[in-house]
């Protein structure tokens, strides 16, 4: 675990104060319909302010896994009292849907609509796409949780 965190911190870029950065990764075990996600929230000094692992049942698709994970990340930040956040994700599809002004008509529209509504509670909430290598998340860690 220590090696994993060391690699993650080398790749991770801090947010500009007073923002906090929340990074997460999720995986789906399709035959059981279980998803697992790991979330970490840090400040500009790389101090971990929040850490959570969540297992969800009855998740139908990988895209639903990503959308549900994003919704849960937004909720976690609010639960912890964060008000100015950058939420990083390697799923460009989800990030685009969260930035879109038009109504989402896809099968994950409920997750997207709820995520947008919750994100409005923040003083500032910025959704950012990052490549997996840049955000430092390791899917194999999430799959171990399943």
pLDDT of res. 106 = 86
State which CATH number among 3.30.420.10, 3.90.550.10, 1.10.150.20, 3.90.1150.10 fits the domain covering 2-145: 3.30.420.10
Query: Contact at 8 Å (CB) between 42 and 105?
Result: no
pLDDT reported for residue 143: 39
- Between the alpha carbon of residue 53 and those of residues 24, 27, 49, 56, the distances in Å are 10, 12, 14, 10
Choose the weakest-confidence range: 2-6, 24-28, 90-94.
2-6
In this predicted model, what pLDDT tens digit does every residue of 47-103 receive, in sequence order?
999 999 999 999 999 999 999 999 999 999 999 999 999 998 888 888 888 889 888
**3 state DSSP class of 117:** helix
**CA–CA separation, 57 and 49 (whole Å):** 27
pLDDT band of residue 10 (cuts 50, 70, 90) is: low
Strands lying side by side in the sheet with 124-129 = 48-56, 34-42, 20-29, 84-89, 124-129
Q: Cβ distance 15 to 3 under 8 Å?
A: no
What pLDDT does 140 receive? 37
Q: DSSP alpha helices (H): ranges in the chain?
A: 2-11, 62-79, 92-99, 109-119, 132-135, 139-145
- For the segment 87-140, what is each residue's pLDDT rounded down to a tens digit? 988 888 888 888 898 887 888 999 999 999 999 999 999 998 887 544 444 443
Domain boundaries, the chain: 2-145
């Amino acid at each position: 675990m220590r090696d994993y965190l060391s690699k993650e911190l080398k790749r991770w870029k801090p947010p500009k104060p007073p923002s906090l950065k929340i990074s997460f990764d999720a995986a789906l075990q399709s035959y059981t319909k279980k998803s697992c996600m790991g979330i970490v929230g840090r400040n500009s000094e790389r101090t971990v302010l929040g850490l959570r692992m969540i297992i969800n049942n009855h998740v139908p698709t990988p895209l639903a896994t990503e959308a549900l994970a994003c919704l849960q990340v937004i909720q976690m930040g609010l639960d912890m009292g964060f008000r100015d956040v950058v939420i990083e994700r390697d799923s460009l599809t989800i990030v685009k849907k969260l930035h879109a002004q038009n109504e989402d008509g896809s099968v994950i529209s409920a997750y997207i609509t709820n995520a947008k509504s919750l994100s409005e509670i923040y003083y500032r909430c910025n959704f950012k796409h990052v490549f997996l290598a840049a955000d430092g998340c390791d899917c194999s860690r999430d799959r171990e949780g399943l």
